[in-house]
Amino acid sequence: MVATSERRRELGAFLRARRERTSPSDVGLPGSGRRRTPGLRREELATLAGISTTWYTFLEQGRDVQPSRQVLISIAAALRLQDTERAHLLAIAAEDGPPLEDVEHLAPEVAAVPALVAPNPAYVTGSSYDLLAWNAEAAALFRGATDLARPNLARWIFTSPTARDVLPDWTDVAQGVLARLRANAGRHPGSPRFRLLEHELRSQSPQADAWWPRYDIATSRSGVKRVRDREGAVHPMTFASFQVTDQPEQVLTIYRRV
């Protein structure tokens, strides 16, 4: 079981990040001139959520308090959280979170899927964006990503110069990947695997270091991504992501050239 103290600290970090990004005007409050800290004050958010400032402060500080689901929903409403953000808030506040494992196990049946959908590039990522399975087309498309000792898509994007050449829209792609990684990390507070990856990304990438505290979160999706080949031509690629039913943090992604 996840250490309760780690989960409480993660909850506090998420609440603080969202409060500091919510301006008084966002929630219908009048401005009050210059502020020492960005966003709403704790007392303002507590009033909007219908709880005491002391109780809310304890939540942000990771104190030994257990908010009810109704309190969390009230806070989410006060912060104007999107559905994905509210679901994340409820997940990291749960006391009976998922067990921590440093190694992910991919079912053989799932590992075989990328080869089955060739020649469409496809790969399977784990919760911390380790590349667990891929086909030759994916390795050629995202050149260098599968050459690492422990292939990891987030590590390649943020630390490999090749990634910036392969991905013309690097900033958008990198922010999306980090937001999904951040969401997964929030559900595994205290995990050595996530902590090591966070340290590696933030120590080697100024962008990752600046974006991580913002606590942006996102879920897997479908869309269009531009990819540059070895000859320098840029190709739009459609992609779709599918969660593995038995392991929803493992995601199969399939690409197709438009």
**Pairwise CA distance, residues 129 & 70, whole Å:** 33
Domain boundaries, the chain: 4-93, 108-257
**Pairwise CA distance, residues 19 & 245, whole Å:** 34
Cα 70 to chain center, whole Å? 25
Q: Give a three-class secondary structure readout of 159-199.
A: HCHHHHHHCCCHHHHHHHHHHHHHHHHHCCCCCHHHHHHHH
**β-bridge mates for residue 238, sequence order:** 224, 256
The 10s digit of each residue's pLDDT in 194-251 is 988 999 999 999 999 999 999 998 887 899 999 999 999 999 999 999 999 989 899 9
CATH for 4-93? 1.10.260.40
More confident residue, 59 or 150: 59
Count of beta carbons in the 10 Å neighbourhood of residue 234: 12
Judged on CB neighbours under 10 Å (0-12, 13-18, 19+), 72 is buried
Question: Could you tell me which of 17, 238, 243, 1 has the C-alpha nearest to residue 120?
Answer: 238
Cα 37 to chain center, whole Å? 25
**Pairwise CA distance, residues 60 & 136, whole Å:** 46
Looking at the structure, give the CATH architecture of the domain made up of residues 108-257: 2-Layer Sandwich (3.30)
Report the percentage of the chain scoring pLDDT > 90.
57
Own/partner pairs, 115-119, CB within 8 angstroms, 24+ separation: 117/254
Per the listing, tokens 């030759």 go with 136
Cβ(14)–Cβ(32) under 8 Å?
no
The 10s digit of each residue's pLDDT in 7-41 is 888 889 999 998 998 888 888 887 656 667 778 98
The 10s digit of each residue's pLDDT in 81-91 is 988 888 888 88
**β-bridge mates for residue 234, sequence order:** 228
